[in-house]
Amino acid sequence: MEFFRNTNIDFLGKKWWFLAFSLVFSVAGIISMAVRHHKTGDWLPLGVDFTGGTKVYLSFADARNEREIHSALSHAGLQRAVVQRLSGGDTANQLVITLDEKDTSQAELSKGKNQIIAALEGNAPAGKQNLNNNDRIGVSAVRDALVARDPLHVGTEEYERIARQVIDARNQSPGGVLKSVDDLKGVVPAPVVESLKQDFFTSNFAVRRADIVGPQVGDQLKRQAKLAVGFSLVGMLVYLWFRFELIYGVAAVVAVFHDTLITLGAFSLTNQEITLTVIAAILTLVGYSMNDTIVVFDRIRENVKLMRRESLSEIVNRSINQTLSRTILTSGLTFLTVLSLFLFGGEVLRGFSFALVIGILIGTYSSIAIAAPMLVAYQQWRARRGSGAAPVPVAAGKGKVRAKA
Amino acid sequence: MQRTLLIKTVVIIVVLLVFVFGIFGKPDKFSGDGLKQAVLNRIHLGLDLKGGMHLILQVMVDEAIGSETDRAIEQLKDEMGKQGITYTDISKPDPEHAEKIVIKGLPIDAGPKLRAYVGDYLRQYSVTSGPDGWIVSMNPSEAASLKEQTVDKSIEAIRNRVDTLGVTEPLIQRNGMGKEQILVQLPGVDDLERVKGIIQSTARLEIHQVFNGGAPFPNEQVALAQGPIPPGQVLMHASPIMGNEGTPDQVYLVSKIPVVGGTDILDARPSTDEQGRPDVSFNLTAAAGQKFAAFTSAHNENLPDPNHYLAVVLDNKIREVASIRQTIRDRGSISGGGFTDQSAGDLAMLLRSGALPASLHYLSESTVGPSLGADSIRSGVKAAIAGMLAVLVFMLIYYRGAGVNANVALILNLIILLGFMGFFGATLTLPGIAGVILTVGMGVDSNVLIFERIREELRHNKAPAAAVDQGFGRAWITIVDTHVTTIVSALILIFVGSGPVSGFGLTLTFGLLANLFTAVFVSRVIFDAVLNRKQRGQALSI
């Protein structure tokens, strides 16, 4: 089976179309970033990792609407809280509550989170603890409560075993929410359930995850992320310079920069949060997008030696066509895996896999439509300036080409 | 040809066995659960999969500098008293620079004496004269190493505490990106709030002499109204736990320098007081015991001195005030009620594990609940299987015979990747699973690259053996190039990133390294084996 055989598409002839396409997407992204910068002072929709703040992921036992939750939080003094519904198949009844850095106290980091929990618990029965609060109630707390009441007249070790069953049952119930203490009937003996009822109640929600970042760490992470992206771009430039020629490195880095810009633009346009894992995805893209570019460049270098009489634009066109099958196939296969990550990978990886899905599409496009045409444009520009006595910036001329290539 | 092929096959089988061992180790049982347990013993789940807590703490190192210079001030006062040198004030005027002591109003001839004394007995300090007096400041190198030591000691103390909590596989280390920060990762912890309290608790137990009898002042104003505080004494607040009806802010006048300091505690354990309530008893080190015995035989109820009261102070709050009945050698207790069995046990543990040299502040905290971790594993595995199946099926349909070859190489690639992780005892995070999935996608790239090249050569009417040879030869350089670029990105992630992100970089790097072996070497051997069996001129299934 073969999808492409002896294609002969004039890619360079369509460079104006490519340019227009890239410009439209880059500019759309930049405009959306500029609008955001004007409104909020930030260029990108940064997550609490970078801005500092509190983010609490909750799962509820039943359907909730955002407004109802928001008003409960407002009553507790958290007017600026942002309540969002999680999107995606497996995330029914799940909400995210975000507090900005002003509601996140550096002196008492978990204050905002505890305020949210208290506000949503509402009127907790006096003297009872929330069995669904997995921050406070674990095996040891349940064990101690049982030991104190001693419903079965057995030893501490036996209560510890029962407590572990209770906690496991809670953690394995949907969303980690026990609807009532009575749900434990059948898991542990009835007298234990009766005893637990006297010490515990159940809220209709549980905290799935909480990220609280103080401003200092946020700034550190921001700096770290910028450094990482910068380092990898420079690293690629140096590697390509070393392996090919400077202009090849520059062309590849421009293409990768273009990919990064459009991917970030997509986050800005769809208003998805940029977290630390998204930055990881973007770094991976930098490497991956370089892959395709290198394959095309390798072939160009090989063909420059073979086709001495043809012009560079013909060589580049031929090289792109020769590698087209493999470029589309490899990107397509990687895209398949990334797509399965996006579809099935769950809420935590949503942003990460979104970046990869966009990035792989754009990265493949850019190696064909940006990086290779840039080489030709550079050569034509040199020819016009008349300085290029040699018509082709022959990579092979450096004598770095191996016998096999 | 046959022989080398055989050797290569043996190499591949050995590698396969080694890495299968890397994944499983020596399982106790060969049942499904036994194998699962064996894998989990070698490849650890990160805390985003297991649930747990990730904390970044700031060590307030200036406090350690501050207590060091406090000691120096006491020493200087003593010495100046002995030599009869007068001065108007000795203090640390700038709270931002705790390493700087200023002495005002010294007579002119005292300068050389001060220099001589500091040179002999306070070697880590240097003396300069400033506009408003003499400045004795800690040398910068000395201050820096004290700060380093403070962070190291804090890490040590946290480790001791976490170990006694029975947390498995905790990670406690310096946080690379910030100064004087500590990163703590506690997977599978289920009572986060208590653990956080235990880590942060300074647990500095001291015993001070009390100067206002056994009766407290109801508040600070009343205490200050009694007249100026005598030198060497300070006001100290009582902990709210001390039964105090109607006067929430009791204050005592106590000695500034403790009789028993934070480092003098040898052992501590939970016990019960005379009324059967939980309390904590402790033993002192031999040296501190002697000092304490001398002090308590000089100040006790049987002597005329009214200052025969002691305050047990925990983290700068008085927990108990008691009269000294007789000479006490090396034991004491913190009672006075307010303990539960658990809090008494926790405090005893904290005292045993040693005081923190400076207090800690939480800078960031993220917690993953146990139910999310389980869901993440489920969705991660689902995505991995779906992605893998899609790739395997596609390769079979598109390349037929050679597709089988690529799929064998791909599966071997995964085994080596997981084996690597097992050997290194690496931690698998959710982004790490994504790295595995991405390895599948990128790993198969190498095969595609080679196969496309072989097909191209075949189209030029080359014989199958020559085409395979050319295909591998020409694709090799490209494969190295593409792997290097991705691995450069992944390495940056390992070194610059933290936690889950570096887990992703790790799996991606391992996966691509293994891919160089499987996609090139293994695939080639399979091709050679197939070609060997074929008649000359028979077509290759690709």
Per DSSP, the residues of B471-529 read: HHHHHHHHHHHHHHHHHHHHHHHHHH--THHHHHHHHHHHHHHHHIIIIIIIHHHHHHH
Residues A385 and A250 in one domain: yes
What domains does chain B contain, in order, with CATH numbers?
2-51+369-533 (1.20.1640.10), 61-143 (no CATH), 201-364 (3.30.1360.200)
Chain A residues within an 8 Å CB radius of B376: 346, 348
pLDDT range class, residue B387, cuts 50, 70, 90: very high
**Between chains, do A284 and B486 touch, taking CB under 8 Å as contact?**
yes
Chain A residues within an 8 Å CB radius of B191: 135-138, 140-141
Higher pLDDT, A6 or B388: B388
Q: Does B436 touch chain A (CB under 8 A)?
A: no
> Per-residue pLDDT for B202 more than 80?
no
Asked which of A166, A191, A212 is the last residue of a domain, the reply is A212
Of A211, A213, A295, the CB nearest to B482: A295
User: How far apart are alpha carbons A179 and B120 in whole angstroms?
Assistant: 72
Residues A77 and A205 in one domain: yes
Question: In this structure, what are the phi and psi dihedrals at residue B302, rounded to the nearest 5 degrees?
Answer: -80, -5
**Between chains, do A294 and B482 touch, taking CB under 8 Å as contact?**
yes
pLDDT range class, residue B334, cuts 50, 70, 90: confident
**Between chains, do A349 and B431 touch, taking CB under 8 Å as contact?**
yes
Chains A, B: CB contacts within 8 A come to 265
Closest chain B residue to the Cα of A335, Cα to Cα: B441
Q: Does B472 touch chain A (CB under 8 A)?
A: no
**Between chains, do B504 and A277 touch, taking CB under 8 Å as contact?**
yes
Domain that holds residue A22: 12-44+214-398
pLDDT range class, residue A2, cuts 50, 70, 90: confident
Q: Does B477 touch chain A (CB under 8 A)?
A: yes
Print the SS3 string covering chain A. Answer: CCCCCCCCCCCHHHHHHHHHHHHHHHHHHHHHHHHHHHHHCCCCCECHHHHCEEEEEEEECCCCCHHHHHHHHHHCCCCCCEEEECCCCCCCCEEEEEECHHHCCCCCCCHHHHHHHHHHHCCCCCCCEECCCCCCCCHHHHHHHHHHHCCCCCCHHHHHHHHHHHHHHHHHCHHHCCCCHHHHECCECHHHHHHHHHHEECCCEEEEEEEEECHHHHHHHHHHHHHHHHHHHHHHHHHHHHHCCHHHHHHHHHHHHHHHHHHHHHHHHHCCCECHHHHHHHHHHHHHHHHHHHHHHHHHHHHHHHCCCCCHHHHHHHHHHHHHHHHHHHHHHHHHHHHHHHHHCCHHHHHHHHHHHHHHHHHHHHHHHHHHHHHHHHHHHHHHHCCCCCCCCCHHHHCCCCCCC
Residues A160 and A73 in one domain: yes
Of B191, B194, B391, the CB nearest to A336: B391
Chain B residues within an 8 Å CB radius of A129: none
**Between chains, do B369 and A209 touch, taking CB under 8 Å as contact?**
yes
pLDDT range class, residue A261, cuts 50, 70, 90: very high
Provide, rounded to the nearest whole percent, the portion of chain A with pLDDT above 90.
29
Of A228, A294, A339, the CB nearest to B485: A294
Of B434, B437, B501, the CB nearest to A276: B501
Can you give the pTM of this predicted structure? 0.80
pLDDT in tens, B147-173: 999 999 899 889 888 888 778 778 898
Residues A235 and A202 in one domain: no
Query: Taking residues B347-355, what's their average pLDDT?
Result: 78
Query: Taking residues B118-128, what's their average pLDDT?
Result: 88
> Per-residue pLDDT for B2 more than 60?
yes
pLDDT in tens, B233-279: 888 888 776 655 555 678 888 888 788 887 788 888 888 877 778 88
pLDDT at B155: 92
Query: Taking residues A25-31, what's their average pLDDT?
Result: 93
Residues A96 and A140 in one domain: yes
pLDDT at A394: 45
Mean pLDDT of chain A: 86
Domain count, chain A: 2
Chain B residues within an 8 Å CB radius of A329: 398, 448, 452
pLDDT at A404: 36
User: How far apart are alpha carbons B376 and B230 in whole angstroms?
Assistant: 63
**Between chains, do B380 and A345 touch, taking CB under 8 Å as contact?**
yes
Residues A143 and A265 in one domain: no
**Between chains, do B477 and A404 touch, taking CB under 8 Å as contact?**
yes
pLDDT at A402: 39
In sequence order, which residues have a C-beta less than 8 Å from that of residue B491 and are 6 or more positions away? B505, B509
pLDDT range class, residue A387, cuts 50, 70, 90: low
The answer to the question of residue A117 being in a domain is: yes
Query: Taking residues A98-116, what's their average pLDDT?
Result: 83
Chain A residues within an 8 Å CB radius of B375: 90, 346
pLDDT at B413: 94
Residues A348 and A251 in one domain: yes
pLDDT at A89: 54
Asked which of A212, A227, A251 is the last residue of a domain, the reply is A212
The answer to the question of residue A6 being in a domain is: no
Contact call for residues A329 and A3 (beta carbons, < 8 A): yes
Q: Does B480 touch chain A (CB under 8 A)?
A: no
pLDDT in tens, A48-78: 888 889 999 998 888 878 888 899 899 888 8
Of A1, A286, A344, the CB nearest to B383: A344
CA distance A349 to chain B (A): 7
The answer to the question of residue A1 being in a domain is: no
Q: According to the per-residue pLDDT averaged within each range, which of A174-178, B281-285, B378-382 is highest?
A: B378-382
CA distance B340 to chain A (A): 11
The answer to the question of residue A170 being in a domain is: yes
Query: Taking residues B72-80, what's their average pLDDT?
Result: 84
CA distance B127 to chain A (A): 35
Contact call for residues B283 and B352 (beta carbons, < 8 A): no
A 10 A CB-CB count for A275 gives 24
**Between chains, do A329 and B383 touch, taking CB under 8 Å as contact?**
no
**Between chains, do A239 and B484 touch, taking CB under 8 Å as contact?**
yes
Residues A139 and A63 in one domain: yes
**Between chains, do B390 and A330 touch, taking CB under 8 Å as contact?**
no
pLDDT at A396: 42
The answer to the question of residue A3 being in a domain is: no
pLDDT in tens, A301-341: 889 888 888 888 899 999 999 889 888 998 999 999 999 99
Closest chain A residue to the Cα of B57, Cα to Cα: A217
Residues A233 and A191 in one domain: no
Residue of A337, A343, A347 to mutate, interface with B, max B Cβ within 10 Å: A337
Q: Distance between alpha carbon B28 and the CA centroid of its chain, in Å?
A: 32
Contact call for residues A371 and A289 (beta carbons, < 8 A): no
Residue of A342, A348, A354 to mutate, interface with B, max B Cβ within 10 Å: A348
Q: Does B512 touch chain A (CB under 8 A)?
A: no
**The domain spanning residue A391 has which CATH number?**
1.20.1640.10
Give just the sign of the alpha carbon dihedral A133, A134, A139, A140. Answer: negative
Higher pLDDT, A264 or A100: A264
**Between chains, do A136 and B431 touch, taking CB under 8 Å as contact?**
no
ipTM more than 0.85?
no
pLDDT range class, residue B64, cuts 50, 70, 90: confident
**Between chains, do B371 and A172 touch, taking CB under 8 Å as contact?**
yes
> Per-residue pLDDT for B536 more than 70?
no
> Per-residue pLDDT for B338 more than 80?
no
> Per-residue pLDDT for A264 more than 90?
yes
Asked which of A212, A233, A257 is the last residue of a domain, the reply is A212
Residues A81 and A221 in one domain: no
pLDDT range class, residue B1, cuts 50, 70, 90: low
CA distance A281 to chain B (A): 9
Closest chain B residue to the Cα of A207, Cα to Cα: B369
The answer to the question of residue A4 being in a domain is: no
**Between chains, do B449 and A326 touch, taking CB under 8 Å as contact?**
yes
**Between chains, do A210 and B367 touch, taking CB under 8 Å as contact?**
yes
**Between chains, do B386 and A280 touch, taking CB under 8 Å as contact?**
no
Query: Taking residues A39-45, what's their average pLDDT?
Result: 87
pLDDT at A403: 35
pLDDT range class, residue A97, cuts 50, 70, 90: very high
> Per-residue pLDDT for A392 more than 60?
no
Q: Does B366 touch chain A (CB under 8 A)?
A: yes
> Per-residue pLDDT for A398 more than 50?
no
Chain B, 332-351: which have a CB under 8 Å from a chain A CB?
341-342
Closest chain B residue to the Cα of A108, Cα to Cα: B362
Query: Taking residues A135-145, what's their average pLDDT?
Result: 86
**Between chains, do B372 and A214 touch, taking CB under 8 Å as contact?**
no
Contact call for residues A321 and A246 (beta carbons, < 8 A): no
**Between chains, do A209 and B367 touch, taking CB under 8 Å as contact?**
yes
pLDDT at B29: 75
Chain B residues within an 8 Å CB radius of A291: 442, 445, 482, 485-486
**Between chains, do B178 and A217 touch, taking CB under 8 Å as contact?**
yes
Chain A residues within an 8 Å CB radius of B497: 224, 228, 276, 280
CA distance B87 to chain A (A): 39
Per DSSP, the residues of B229-297 read: PPTTEEEEEBPTTS--SS-SS-EEEEESS-SB-GGGEEEEEEEE-TTS-EEEEEEE-HHHHHHHHHHHH
| Joined tokens for residue A316 | 């580049």
Work out the angle at residue A280's Cα, subtended by the Cα atoms of residues A275 and A285, and round it to the nearest 5 degrees. 125
A 10 A CB-CB count for A168 gives 13
Residues A394 and A325 in one domain: yes
Residues A200 and A276 in one domain: no
> Per-residue pLDDT for B180 more than 70?
yes
User: How far apart are alpha carbons A212 and A214 in whole angstroms?
Assistant: 7
Query: Taking residues A219-237, what's their average pLDDT?
Result: 85
**Between chains, do B493 and A298 touch, taking CB under 8 Å as contact?**
no
The answer to the question of residue A403 being in a domain is: no
Query: Taking residues A120-130, what's their average pLDDT?
Result: 85
A 10 A CB-CB count for B104 gives 14
Q: Does B490 touch chain A (CB under 8 A)?
A: yes
Chain B residues within an 8 Å CB radius of A295: 449, 478, 482
| Joined tokens for residue A323 | 């590698």
| Joined tokens for residue B172 | 């406690």
**Between chains, do B364 and A291 touch, taking CB under 8 Å as contact?**
no
**Between chains, do A330 and B397 touch, taking CB under 8 Å as contact?**
no
The answer to the question of residue A2 being in a domain is: no
